[in-house]
Amino acid sequence: MKLTRSNFGELLTPVHKKVFFNEYDGLEKQYPELAKVYDMTKKDDTFPHMGALGMWDENTEGNTINETEFNQGPTATLTAKRFDQGYSVTWELVRDDLYNVMKGLGKNGNAAGLGYGLNTRVEVDVANVYNNGFTNTGYDGVALFSDTHPLADSSSFGDNLLTGALNPENLKAGKSLMRAQVNQAGLKIQARAKDLIVGPDLEFTALEITQSDKQAYEQSNTKNVIEGITPKVFDYINGSKWFLRDPRFDNVMMGWRDKPIFDSYQMPKTVDWFYYGYSRYAVGYVHWAGLVGSQG
């Protein structure tokens, strides 16, 4: 079919759509290593926090079963937000093809730029759950990383806040803090630090600490006993912040309500077309357990 003023938008849409998804799908996806990714079935997903029962009580033969109650804690909510971006293509751009519009490359990147922009948006949003986790106010009234997380059925507090730079001693302290994490009744939950999460500034520090045969930064024969932790470097974790994570726990979540689409329409009263990408998703955390964080 010959390309004309009246049909160029329809003919170019599949080309631009392919470029968009080739770019988006081809980019590295780091966020699934930072969050549990799932499909939302509605705009708002709620995660109620129930209390917990304590240890079993001793009893005697023939006696009635011990009975206790647990309280209801706060509820975490994830709300899907809309994200979109688009660009217009004029007949003149197509006719003269000054910017490879016919190939979907276009002025300022066009379709490929949309793919890159969405990928960056998602990566930044997920990483910022960690970056901002020392100053936010979460579902339980304190920051994500805090030593005063209220517990529904205990007078003590949950603690996942560490202080200090990333070094062997502080990493050991972080592992110990993770093991000490408790449920709503104050019972240990057997959390274990598996991932060491850092940004580019701490990439080689993390590798040196976890992969040295001898303890890093010491001129001694002390064996490096930091085992079972995998360093993971993410582009949008900021500065000297570092985190430990037990991926068995559902804490940081990323829910797709509408996965990315690409489409187009003719702009009213013109011969020009508008191409756009659209998606909806929610990012946040629904629990602090299984995480430890330090600002460095």
Instruction: Report how far residue 48's alpha carbon sits from residue 76's, in angstroms, rounded to the nearest whole number.
Output: 6
Enumerate the domain spans of the chain: 8-46+77-294
pLDDT of residue 71: 82
One-letter amino acid at 45 equals: D
pLDDT score, position 128: 98
Q: From CA 130, how far away is CA 203, in angstroms rounded?
A: 17
- What is the per-residue pLDDT for 284? 98
Q: Provide the pLDDT for residue 145.
A: 98
**Structure confidence at residue 10 (pLDDT):** 73
Confidence (pLDDT) at 126: 98
Per-residue pLDDT of the chain (296 residues; tens, 9 = 90+): 565 666 677 778 888 898 899 899 999 999 999 999 999 999 999 999 887 777 788 888 889 888 777 788 889 999 999 999 998 887 776 665 655 555 555 555 588 889 999 999 999 999 999 999 999 999 999 999 999 999 988 889 999 999 999 999 999 999 999 999 999 999 999 999 999 999 999 999 999 999 876 666 766 666 776 888 999 999 999 999 999 999 999 999 999 999 999 999 988 888 788 989 999 999 999 999 999 999 99
> Strands, E, within 149-247: which ranges?
149-150, 157-158, 161-162, 195-198, 230-233, 242-245
Q: What is the pLDDT of residue 14?
A: 85
Q: Is the separation of the CB atoms in 166 and 294 below 8 Å?
A: yes
Q: Which string of DSSP letters, residue by residue, matches 61-130?
A: TTPPPP-----EEEEEEEE-EEEEEEEEE-HHHHHH-TT-GGGT--GGGHHHHHHHHHHHHHHHHHHHHH
Query: What dihedral do alpha carbons 106, 109, 113, 116 form, nearest 10°?
Result: 130
Please report where in the chains the tokens 């085992």 appear, as a residue. 227
Class of domain 8-46+77-294: alpha beta
